[in-house]
Amino acid sequence: MTHIDAGAELDPVHPVPLPPSPSGLTSAEVADRVARGQVNDVPVRSSRSVPDIVRANVFTRFNAIIGVLWIIMLIVAPIQDSLFGFVILANTGIGIVQEWRAKKTLDSLALIGEARPTVRRDGAAREIGTSEIVLDDVIETGPGDKIPVDGVCVETDGLEIDESLLTGEADPVVKRPGDPVMSGSFVVAGGGAFRAVKVGAEAYAAQLAEEASRFTLVHSELRSGISTILKYVTWMMVPTAIGLIISQLVGEDNDLKDSVARTVGGIVPMVPEGLVLLTSVAFAIGVIRLGRKQCLVQELPAIEGLARVDTVCLDKTGTLTEGGMDVTELRVLADSSCDEPYVRRVLGALGGSDPRPNASLQAIIDAYPDDDNGNDDNGNDDSGGGDESDGGWRTTATLPFSSARKYSGASFEEADGTVRTWLLGAPDVLLAEDDPALAETGRLNEQGLRVLLLARAAGRAPDDPRAAEGAEPVALVVLEQRLRSDAAETLRYFAGQGVRAKVISGDNAVSVGAVAAKLGLSGEAVDARRLPQEPARLAGAIDEYTVFGRVTPQQKREMVGALQSQGHTVAMTGDGVNDVLALKDADIGVAMGSGSEATRAVAQIVLLNNSFATLPSVVAEGRRVIGNITRVATLFLVKTVYSVLLAILVVCWQVEYPFLPRHLTLLSTLTIGVPAFFLALAPNRERARPHFVRRVMRYAVPGGVVAGVATFVTYLVAGHHYSGPGALEAETSAATLTLFLISLWVLAIIARPYTWWRVALVVTMGVAFLVVLAVPWLQDFFALRLVGMTMPWIAVGVAALAAAALELLWRWVDRREPAE
């Protein structure tokens, strides 16, 4: 490993003394920097703060409208006409509590999966939180680690860093001592250490980690659809409300307080005030439910997004298979000049030369421990220069494994002074296509085994780009991968839900195909090196085949893009640095909790229990949210449509508005508020469908029009039927009865398919209304009194006709709905 002095010629003007060597800061120097505020104090939050939650739930456009109207009603009308304000307070409180619970869940899960970089302090390496890094800390880094702050390399050992998430350049950058590293990039190969030169808000990508894991409600079809609906509602509300105010306060010669009350009664129900709340609550409860299954949802719309996915791309290692491997066989090739004991020693030396082995090399280390090659645990020579008396080998050069390169290597000076270079990696990359060793490799791959080739390079250093040219194949190392016990069942679930699975792996295509076949995925395995380069042809090939091997990290990204170009919604799962680019570009990125820090940072969903079988739970939560919010949105918007229509009809006919606020508060509570809360949180396995706004409005508009017209007809008929004192209350009661029955029928339709609790919910709401009509003090409180027998039955008859028309209309809409 090469070094530079951490304080030499890097930063001549510095606010505090620099550490004298790469051994790191002392405790006193750390304390000095903390006192000066030179700490990486940019908070990485997984959720909104409590003040943010309160602001988001309290200070909304519609809460402001309702709040002003509530204050007016408290001044001019009885308390029962101000009930809608107390309902809004209760709803807002529920929303705050649920999001706070979701925040606690997210924060606790984020702590479990939080990255803890290794720094050198007082001459020893220790793990600390990212926010504890101070200026000049010497930070160690290895494959998969994300660079948390800006720095300058002080040690490198084949260090390669991918800066594509910052610069867009796909090729990894080789770093040497003195080279800068930027926060937000990640290590793809090798290791080293760097000194922190910019921390906190000064770092180049200080906000990247925060944004990657922030609790957010954006980029969601549900959220954007609801925002679109609310925009249209506002446009309808403003002119309608103005017309209603003029009609009631100027056009009608009525008592001022009663006119104000009826004007407010016409404006309040236009506001779908609970719709945003219920969407937030549904998402928040989804986070809590998934959190109990050790699933960290870093961005809330990911719950919805995964439910909309139609293609899931799977990395084999760590997703379909467990991370560990076992060496099952060592095959020394017949024409090799090496015997098996010597080959074992070479493998042990290769294992000892890499301080950060991947899963394959770790299996080799376990099988062939490096007991006598003279290397310490960090791959550094401690044999006193390879003393021949003890048979020690001295490592002279190393090349760490890279997903793009597909091999690693090292050079050793053996006991007799001979320097030999060894390469270990993919046989089909290291060997020519006509090499006979590939035939044997192919037979092993067909059994689902992973095969590495040990080859002796022809006099070149391991980091020479042509090191593999003319290499002598020496032995095949056969490894067995352990399949995840839940992988086959999870793949069957996705297949049953119409979600296509694509296995995209850097391993040999035949081996990947054999593993996929064991899990029930059929189809030809394709070597990605033979895929066409043209985007259109590539998209066609990706769409046609299921299993791909020898895929480079850049190709994974291109394959995800090709699927998206065909109109697919793509999820990508992975755990290694070779998956980061594809995870970032996919519609939904899913990382394993045991995966690299970089993959966890860019993924929207992290499976902390490393269980692929958790994904169906995420899909189920997404479907519950999408399906249920679509149901309740229809309930809310039917009310908005009939409220706007009633106001228009009142203005056109120049009559008093039929309802006081208390009437609509009662109707909204029994036919929307209470039922919507239960429906929004109920199980729902309907397949997610697109075009949320269109699907909601095609039911809400006809439903609202039918309800509004039928209610106004009853109101006009009652106006001719009743006369004298108390006539207005009797007219209002008849109209309220009609509107309640129609709204109850809308609820009954939306509650389908029926279960016992859905039927009980609808019946309970109907019984509650009957109780209001039957109990004298409730009659007085809500100003509802049915007079006589004729008009109430007319009201019921009009409601029955409207319900029949509504049933026919919605069935007609269903038949016209295109297949999606």
Active site residues: 315
DSSP 8-class letter at 612: G
Q: Compute the distance between CA of residue 198 and CA of residue 202 in angstroms, rounded to an integer.
A: 6
Using a CB cutoff of 8 Å and minimum separation of 24, what contacts does 112-119 make?
A: 112/294, 112/296, 112/593, 112/608, 113/296, 113/593, 113/600, 113/606, 113/608, 114/44, 115/145, 115/146, 115/148, 115/597, 115/600, 115/601, 117/141, 117/145, 117/148, 119/24
Residue 471's closest CA among 548, 409, 534?
409
Spatial contact of 335 and 345, defined as CB atoms under 8 Å apart: no
CA pair distance 803, 334, nearest whole angstrom: 85
Q: Are 748 and 762 in contact (CB under 8 A)?
A: yes
The Cα 288–Cα 601 span in angstroms is: 21
Helix, strand or coil, per DSSP, at residue 180: strand
Q: What b/e sequence results for 134-166 when a residue is b if at least 16 CB atoms lie within 10 Å of its CB, and e otherwise?
A: bbbbbbbbbbbbbbbbbbbbbbbbbbbbbbbbe
Whole-number Å distance between alpha carbons of 149 and 203:
6
Q: What are phi and psi of 48, to 5 degrees?
A: -70, 150
8-state DSSP, 81: G
State how far the alpha carbon of 581 is from the alpha carbons of 165, 204, 306, in Å.
8, 20, 18
Closest alpha carbon to 639 in 702, 700, 696, 695: 700
Contact at 8 Å (CB) between 248 and 331?
no
Strands 186-198 and 150-162: antiparallel
Extended beta strands in 608-690, E state: none
Q: Is the CB of residue 325 less than 8 Å from the CB of residue 291?
A: no
Does residue 698 contact residue 755 with C-beta atoms inside 8 Å? no
Structure tokens at 500: 């296509």
Element (H, E) at 423: strand 419-425
Distance CA 70, CA 63 (A): 10
Whether the CB-CB separation of 153 and 193 falls below 8 Å is answered with: yes
Query: CA nearest 717: which of 609, 798, 629, 606?
Result: 798
Torsion of CA 502, 508, 513, 514, to 10 degrees: -140
Q: State the amino acid at position 65 in one-letter form.
A: I
Asked if residue 426 lies in contact with residue 477, where contact means CB atoms within 8 angstroms, the answer is no
DSSP track, 529-575 = GGS-SSHHHHHHHHHH-SEEES--HHHHHHHHHHHHHTT--EEEEE-
Q: Could you tell me which of 227, 306, 371 has the C-alpha nearest to residue 621?
A: 306
First to last CA, the chain: 58
Residue 311, CB half-sphere, CA atoms under 13 Å: how many?
23
Reading across the β-sheet that carries 450-456, which strands appear in turn? 321-332, 472-483, 450-456, 419-425, 407-413, 394-399
Q: Nearest-5° angle of CA 148, CA 151, CA 152?
A: 145
Cα 177 vs. chain centroid, distance in angstroms?
Answer: 37
Nearest to 138 by CA among 193, 180, 203: 193
Provide DSSP, 121-168. ETTEEEE--GGG-BTT-EEEE-TT-B--SEEEEEEEEEEEEE-HHHH-
